[in-house]
Chain A
């Protein structure tokens, strides 16, 4: 077995393009997931029984079906219902939808962790509802939610590899293509694994830094 990772150097432009698309789908997917998850959490916390039940069903369904099946369902089944789009757009949107129930649960837990007394105190002081939300509930909730948010961000990075199966030309897709062209499977996939590992470690370290600075802010 001869091992020659140098042969990947010939494909740097393709790899850079794939890497950029991995970052793009990951970041956009995570932003969509956080936005959607947050809205669902607010609706679930403030809404009535109907909203709560509807969101619970949405969460259970999205979390109960593998991401790859959801992708196939929407990307290949969607055109029958009039849902058509570029693989990148559909893939990113689906990544956001897939992540949303997990973020919803995290934010809901965050909302519940804020003591009712704080909100009552805010009301007693005559603060407006938006002020109570922005100045009392949100900051405390975000501190509680931050570690889980970092974890979920990492989960979504790893799930973004699955987009390669619906032909989104991200890093995994490009490396698979190069590996079958050059037959250098071991080199290609080993380096691919190392790249993802490094990305995950970097995200984790950044998350720990953020947690530390938030804790400092809270103690002031």
Chain B
């Protein structure tokens, strides 16, 4: 490649690379360095290299509860997103009017574009003791006393599913869109009922989308904290909330840094595994 070209490429990439190196890579590296420091009882930070924070994580039952809570949430949220998201994505892709499809698409994307505050407050209004749902149920005589929904793990699940559903639906919708419908017709011409067609043809061929969506939802659920914080308060057993609490309430930055890296490691692991799985799934679908 000529020198002029090399210069051009360097020039085009320089701003982005500089920005990311200075304000992403370096802070991350420094965070790691911080995670190896430790804070003593007087809130003074000692920068000697030690694994005390990581050991703390490994042995402290408080953090184990946090991890377990996040794992539970991840399972439930992912399952719900899959069971609700696939049919909804299918519906959107196969609806006949383009106007309707655009509208549905806008609805799917809306949680992403709306501030997390608005989303969370919406759930507060809906789920509060004197909120919409309780109000409706009470006036219909279906319950006698308001159901406690806000502040429970259940409300965290609901609010999390709401914000992560688009991440499951969009890759699946994309996979469905690139599926040639003639294959479904072929299956039917050979005698497969609509359900058989779905299980044997549609689902296997949209697997890459399902894997992509699932891994995205898992990775995002592991690190979620604002939505649960606003909807259920800081006492929920979630890993990211634990990090938030440790860092900004207790001001133990070294510990917070270490926990952050544990979370990062988990997230990267999920993404790497998903990437591997995606390759094999894509291969079998040709």
Is B one of A's binding partners? no
